[in-house]
Amino acid sequence: MAALDPAQAVSVHIHIPFCDRLCWFCACRTQGTRTLGPVESYLGTLEAELALLRATIPVGVRMGRLHCGGGTPTTLSPAMIHRLGQAVKAVIPPANEWEFPVEIDPTMVDRAKIAALAKEGMNRASIGIQDFDPPVQAAIGRAQPFMITRGCVDDLRGAGIGSLNTHLVYGLPRQTEDWQVETVDKVPTLAPDRVAFFGYPHVTWMSKRKG
């Protein structure tokens, strides 16, 4: 860290390993929580790590990209979003032009959280869709009515988020070709800037959740 060149912007990744509920297909490193207690204590740990970083990195290093992923970063309350945003920027200030993408689950976010992220500088959002078909959603433990996703997209655009990425997954349990075509046909109605299509491996021996 001490050898970083202040002339080169760095990329920072913050992982928030919590979700309000766990989807059965998910391979991300995360854990479920119904309270903010563990999130609060994790924030304290991140702040301690940032303090170590402050003592090490050369003055003048700037952040060209701050990626906030998970898990679900929007398990953080608006106050926590500001606390984390300010803590990171105090140690590594953003470059004049910087990217701040955030992974968002439409079922775990509201306008106040989107407003807090936008205030901290979020300029790209990646939203998890996976599949719009209710039986597939039931099979993966993730109820997400289309109108929830639509509302989230409208709130993100309303908050001035210029770049929107959507995540779809193929190979999920109960997915049929017809339903997948229907999901893919619906996605452009959300006018995303980018669509990521991930393949799902049903590896039950690697994850108990998928069993």
Which residues make up the interface to ligand SAM (CB under 6 A)? 19, 25-28, 69-70, 72, 103, 105, 128, 130, 167, 169, 198, 200
For residue 121, give every residue at least 6 positions away whose Cβ sits within 8 Å of its Cβ, in sequence order, or none.
Answer: 66, 85, 94, 98, 100
Measure Cα distances from 96 to 6, 84, 120, 128, 160 in Å.
Answer: 14, 20, 14, 29, 18
Q: Is 83 helix (H, G, I), strand (E, B) or coil?
A: helix
In the window 40-69, what residues touch ligand SF4 (CB under 6 A)? none
Q: Where are the alpha helices (DSSP H) in 92-133?
A: 111-120
Contact between 72 and ligand SF4 by CB under 6 A: the answer reads yes
User: Which option in ligand SF4, ligand SAM, none does residue 16 bind, with CB closer than 5 to 8 A by kind?
Assistant: none
For residue 53, give every residue at least 6 positions away whose Cβ sits within 8 Å of its Cβ, in sequence order, or none.
Answer: 1, 91, 92
User: Which option in ligand SF4, ligand SAM, none does residue 198 bind, with CB closer than 5 to 8 A by kind?
Assistant: ligand SAM
In the window 113-172, what residues touch ligand SF4 (CB under 6 A)? 128
User: Which option in ligand SAM, ligand SF4, none does residue 166 bind, with CB closer than 5 to 8 A by kind?
Assistant: none
For residue 34, give every residue at least 6 positions away whose Cβ sits within 8 Å of its Cβ, in sequence order, or none.
Answer: 20
Options 21-29, 51-59, 171-179, 196-204: segment touching ligand SF4 (CB under 6 A): 21-29
Closest approach of ligand SF4 to the CB of residue 23, in Å: 3
Options 17-25, 42-50, 92-100, 181-189: segment touching ligand SF4 (CB under 6 A): 17-25
Instruction: Specify the DSSP element, H or E, that contains 19.
Output: strand 18-19
Binding site for ligand SF4 (CB under 6 A): 19, 22-23, 26, 28, 30, 70-72, 105, 128
